[in-house]
Amino acid sequence: MLIYIAQRLLVAIPTLLIIVMASFFLMHGAPGGPFDGDAQLEPEVLENIRAAYDLDKPVPLQFWLYLKGLLRGDFGPSIVYKDFNVTELIAVGLPVSLKLGLSAMLLAVVLGGLGGIIAALRQNGWVDYTIMAVAMTGIALPSFVIAPLLALVFGLYLSLLPVAGWNDGAVANMVLPVIALALPQVAIIARLMRGGMLEVLGSNFVRTARAKGLSEAQVVSRHVLKTAATPLISYLGPALAGVMTGSVVIEQIFNLPGMGRYFVQGALNRDYPVVMGIVVVYATTIILLNLLTDLAYGVLDPRVRRGYR
């Protein structure tokens, strides 16, 4: 098991490095810079500003300096928000985005998982069709369509929930954003779970379990669930990626002070440090989650643990 974990770490660290490198060199290798749009500056002033941000040094050196800064937790200064460090911006936005994202993931897994299990057990019945129809909607409608519609219905017409603002994470303010963010993932997870269940329900070992005289509930809970959940576990990484990209839009629509807002602004303004910093944070989160899911695999499937080929 330890070897397994070590292997995973060995892959994770270079991956992170590559992502940081790729983002960095992309941003720096591009034509144009962050100061192009500004009013015409005198060449000396421009030089000074560039020196202050280390932009006059060769790119590989800049990268090295950046890495060193990262290890200290310093993401560098923002080019656009001149009074702020990127680290400070992230510190403001991260808790919000984290709360939003994790709540959405939890909702997606629980709702999607349950939905998929029930749909599989009542295969081809009306329950199954209903759940799958709802799932289809979640998959087909992007979150930036669902979110305004939800806001319209529940916020404006029914006046049940607030449509904007974070209010320090008050529950009422979180309901609509979390649901809008989770819905597409609920749909995909429900489908995956249902598929996994159906596949396992037809296997030989389930037939053996039934032939032993176990009740259907016992068969499902002891013999089916763990195996059927495997595709779900594999999907958690991409699910988180989906939640992250969705959160950028959701934060915009509901006016939430998360990292997504700074990310988009940074992209529009070519504020390299901000964009880079946020990408690093997002990527680290995902890689961490992937590590956790890999570990979960190890726990769930003994063949993985014992290095079965």
Partner 1 sequence: MIPVLSVKDLTVQFALGPRQVIAVNGLSFDLGPGECLGVVGESGSGKSQSFLAMLGLLARNGSAAGSVRFKGKEILNAPKAQLQRLRGERISMMFQDALSGLTPNLRIGRQLEEVLMVHRGLSRARARQRALNMLEIVKIPEPEQRYNAYPFELSGGMRQRVMIALALLCKPDVLICDEPTTALDVTVQAQVLKLLDDTRRHTDTAIILITHDLGVVAGLCDRVLIMYAGRAVETGSVEDIFYQAAHPYTRGLLRSVPRLDADPEQPLPAISGHPPILENLPAGCAFAGRCDRYIQRCAAGVPELRQVAASHGVACLRAEAAP
Partner 2 sequence: MSRPEAQLLGSESVAAAGGGHVSASMWRQAGRRFAANRVAMASLFTLGLIALACLFAPLLSPHTLEDTYWEYILVPPSLENSHWFGTDANGRDLFVRVFHGGRISLAIGVLTTLVALTIGLAYGATAGFVGGKTDGVMMRAVDVLYSLPLLFFIIILVTVFGRNIWLIFLSIGALEWLTMSRIVRGQTLSVRRKEYVESAYAIGLPAGAILRRYIVPNVIGPVIVYVTLLIPTNIVVESYLSFLGLGVQEPLTSWGLLISQGAEELQVAPWLLLFPATLLSLTMFCFNFIGDGLRDALDAAQR
**Interface residue list for partner 2 (CB under 8 A):** 11, 15, 19, 22-23, 26-27, 29-32, 136, 139-142, 144-145, 147-149, 151-152, 156, 237-238, 240-241, 244-245, 248-249, 252-253, 263-264, 267-268, 270, 275, 279, 282-283, 286, 290
- Can residue 210 be called a binding residue for partner 1 (CB under 8 A)? yes
113 conformational bin, left if phi > 0, alpha if psi -120 to 50, beta if neither: alpha
Stretch that binds partner 1, among 103-111, 125-133, 209-217, 260-268 (CB under 8 A): 209-217
Helix (H, G, I), strand (E, B) or coil at 58: coil
Given the structure tokens 């799958």, which residue do they identify? Answer: 132
Q: How far is the CB of 293 from partner 1 (least distance, A)?
A: 16
- Can residue 213 be called a binding residue for partner 1 (CB under 8 A)? yes
Segment 114-143, which members bind partner 1 (CB under 8 A)? Answer: 123
The entry of partner 2, partner 1, none near residue 185 (CB within 5 to 8 angstroms by kind) is: none
For partner 1, the closer CB: 157 or 308: 308
Q: How far is the CB of 64 from partner 2 (least distance, A)?
A: 20
Helix (H, G, I), strand (E, B) or coil at 85: strand
- Can residue 40 be called a binding residue for partner 1 (CB under 8 A)? no
Q: How far is the CB of 208 from partner 2 (least distance, A)?
A: 26
Q: How far is the CB of 237 from partner 1 (least distance, A)?
A: 21
The entry of partner 2, partner 1, none near residue 303 (CB within 5 to 8 angstroms by kind) is: partner 1
Q: How far apart are CA 272 and CA 77, in angstroms?
A: 10
Task: Let me know: does 248 contact 281? Beta carbons within 8 Å.
Answer: no
- Can residue 68 be called a binding residue for partner 1 (CB under 8 A)? no
- Two tokens, residue 167: 């209010």
The entry of partner 1, partner 2, none near residue 166 (CB within 5 to 8 angstroms by kind) is: none
Task: Let me know: does 271 contact 77? Beta carbons within 8 Å.
Answer: no
- Can residue 307 be called a binding residue for partner 1 (CB under 8 A)? no
- Other Cβ atoms less than 10 A from the Cβ of 92: the count is 15
Chain-centre distance of CA 196, in angstroms? 23
Amino acid at 204: N
Segment 152-171, which members bind partner 1 (CB under 8 A)? Answer: none
Sequence-distant (≥ 6) Cβ neighbours of residue 90 within 8 angstroms: 75, 259, 262, 277, 278, 281
For residue 77, the 8-state DSSP code is B
The entry of partner 1, partner 2, none near residue 308 (CB within 5 to 8 angstroms by kind) is: partner 1
Four-residue CA torsion sign, 167, 274, 147, 289: negative
- The pair phi, psi for residue 32, each rounded to 5°, is 80, 160
Q: Report the interface residues with partner 1, using CB under 8 A.
A: 123, 203-205, 207-216, 218, 222-223, 226-227, 300-303, 306, 308
